[in-house]
Structure 1
Amino acid sequence: MLPNSAARAISHYLSMADRLLPGWIRGFYVVGSVALGAWRAGVSDIDFVAAVDGDLGERDVRRLALLHKAGNVPAVWQALVRARPAIPGTLNGVFVAASDLGEPVTQIRPVASHSGPSLERGRGFEVNPVVWKVLAEKGVTVRGPSPDELGLDPEPDKLREWNLQQLHGHFAAWAGKASSGRPPRKPLLPAHRVALSTVLSPPRLHHTIVTTEVISKEAAAQYALDTFEARWHPLIRLALARRLGLPAPVGADAYATGPRRLPGLVGEFVRDVIASADRHCQDM
């Protein structure tokens, strides 16, 4: 069952897709926070995997780029009305040839993907063991056969390795930049806001490495509180409060009022999560 506002956004997106690329999207599956039962209106994006009828010509690529803009007009409008720099409710996802869905996930070459403002042809980060596990076990079918009829191969034997690579690749690099004099930023978002939005992602990966299960960022907050040292608890609680749109909790006020030191602090936390994941893998 889709939340009402998510269902409306998806319906609009698919209606635009069917006008711009008639008959091309044969299957449409919602993953991410919706599938994990953690989607929140005005906070979460909508992640999808679309099964499509083959590759794209140059004219089709232009139409797909237009789809990402036209299909997300409601989310953009709401962000403008509320004067928010971020655009929650955006549909982001990957397009995969329907004939390729039965291949091992790491061998699938995506047709294209939408993420944020960009369209990438022949690439799609979402085609990975984590997303495919969520799709196979909890994916929400909007169009097409159910996920258990697709013959998916999430390659569970590669799940831990993939998560560990993400920690040592993207997040280790992020932590290094966060501790520098020029921490990562995004358009219209200052470095401390970007840092806070990063806090809960490494514990998610850590949880999957330890348990082989995939959880939401909100669930990762509780996991992090149960797993990591108490000195990190105010930071974790602040990151969760910001994600939920709540005031800074008691005990996290110092972090909330000290944005300059936040990126470096989050970088240190990320390195601690990575070290803990390494220790777990060594003990297995």
Structure 2
Amino acid sequence: MLSNRPPLPDEVERAVSRYLSVADRLVPGRIRGFYVVGSVALGAWRSGRSDIDFVAVVDGDAGERDLRRLSLLHKAGNVPAAGQALIRARPAVPGTLNGVFVASGDLREPVTRIRPVASHSGWRFKRGRGFEANPVVWKVLLEKGVTVRGPAPHELGLDPEPGRLREWNLRQLHGHFSTWAGRAMSGRPPRKPLQPAHRVALATVLSPPRLHHTVVTGEVISKEAAAEYALDTFEARWHPLIRLALARRLGLPAPAGGGDASLSDRRRLPHLAGEFMREVITSAGPG
């Protein structure tokens, strides 16, 4: 660990150290850079609720043997987080290290042209793909990424493609989140294994305001900050939903006196979330 970097929360420090210890046994000498991004870098990481997002730099080409070992790293490096989730009978796995592996020779490429070596998120491991190699994550990496191993981010020659940041966020809003909102308003709203639709809706509802903020300002903020932005930006009729989503994000009880009876109806809540998302997407402008 570097002594001149901003301190990581103790729990994050331990999790990263364990993960890299496993990595150095499975792929010795190959992980030449390791950077923490996401909620940790944005100052919004919450113990027991947040994941730990990273960008890892792999030295040299990755062959079949390396990919198999990175897949094993995904499992072995996250054993403590998975174990805690099982003990607490939680379908989500907070504390999981999720990230993307990029070849050192590709770092100077425009981010949308980078083909990652691999990535993993939650229970999923992907070869040759990684959503995290995108203008938003690269902006956070360059400006706020926490260096655990390797040169500082500003020495990597990164190209986050700032000219494409607004376009990229609009495409996400009008693509992924528009589809999500449509499903939420249908009779078959999105759900995840062991997670009912209303919980998935509350976990998702703050993402479109976050992207909206980036479209408008060019800056990337956390979901918690996006809740405050949404309260300042969108009509008061949405405020009870936003406050409920923020409370769930922080692990707090539902706010008293929410003022919207539909929030207590779990069957209605996904539809309400979809309606709010549609308004956010329309407000952001055409994609």
Aligned to 2:282: 275
SS in 1 for 2:285: helix
Q: What TM-score, normalized to structure 1?
A: 0.96
Letter paired with 2:139: K
CA offsets per residue over residues 102-151 of structure 1, 9 Å max, x none?
A: 11111111111011111111110000000000000000000000001001
2:18 aligns with one of 12, 18, 42: 12
Aligned to 2:3: none
CA distance in 1, matches of 2:57, 2:65: 19
CA distance 1:232–1:40, shift in 2 (3 Å): same
Letter paired with 1:260: R
Letter paired with 2:268: R
CA distance in 1, matches of 2:138, 2:283: 25
Aligned to 2:224: 218
Contact 2:166 2:215 in 1 (8 A): yes
2:267 aligns with one of 257, 260, 271: 260
1:85 aligns with one of 64, 85, 91: 91
CA offsets per residue over residues 144-168 of structure 1, 9 Å max, x none?
A: 0000100111110000000000000
Letter paired with 2:217: T
Shift of 1:29: 0.2
Shift of 1:13: 0.5
The farther-off stretch of 82-91 and 51-60 is: 51-60
CA distance in 1, matches of 2:40, 2:122: 18
Shift of 1:256: 4.6
Letter paired with 1:249: P
Q: What TM-score, normalized to structure 2?
A: 0.95
- Gap regions ≥5 residues in structure 1: none
Aligned to 1:52: 58
CA distance in 2, matches of 1:79, 1:96: 28
1:35 aligns with one of 41, 44, 57: 41
CA offsets per residue over residues 214-247 of structure 1, 9 Å max, x none?
A: 0000000000000000000000000000011111
1:248 paired with 2:254, answer yes
**Counterpart mapping for 1:161-180 below 5 A:** 161-180=167-186
Aligned to 1:206: 212
Letter paired with 1:8: R
Contact 2:241 2:263 in 1 (8 A): no
Aligned to 1:159: 165
Aligned to 1:61: 67
Instruction: Please identify runs of 4+ aligned residues in structure 1 that moved more than 4 A.
Output: none
CA distance in 2, matches of 1:55, 1:191: 41
Q: How high is the sequence identity, in percent, across the aligned residues?
A: 79
CA distance in 2, matches of 1:6, 1:166: 29
Shift of 1:255: 4.5
Count of residues in Structure 1 that have an aligned counterpart in Structure 2: 280
Aligned to 1:75: 81
SS in 2 for 1:26: strand
Contact 2:27 2:69 in 1 (8 A): yes
Aligned to 1:121: 127
Contact 1:248 1:256 in 2 (8 A): no
Contact 1:235 1:255 in 2 (8 A): no
SS in 2 for 1:28: strand
Letter paired with 1:202: P
- Gap regions ≥5 residues in structure 2: 1-6
Contact 2:115 2:128 in 1 (8 A): yes
Shift of 1:194: 0.5
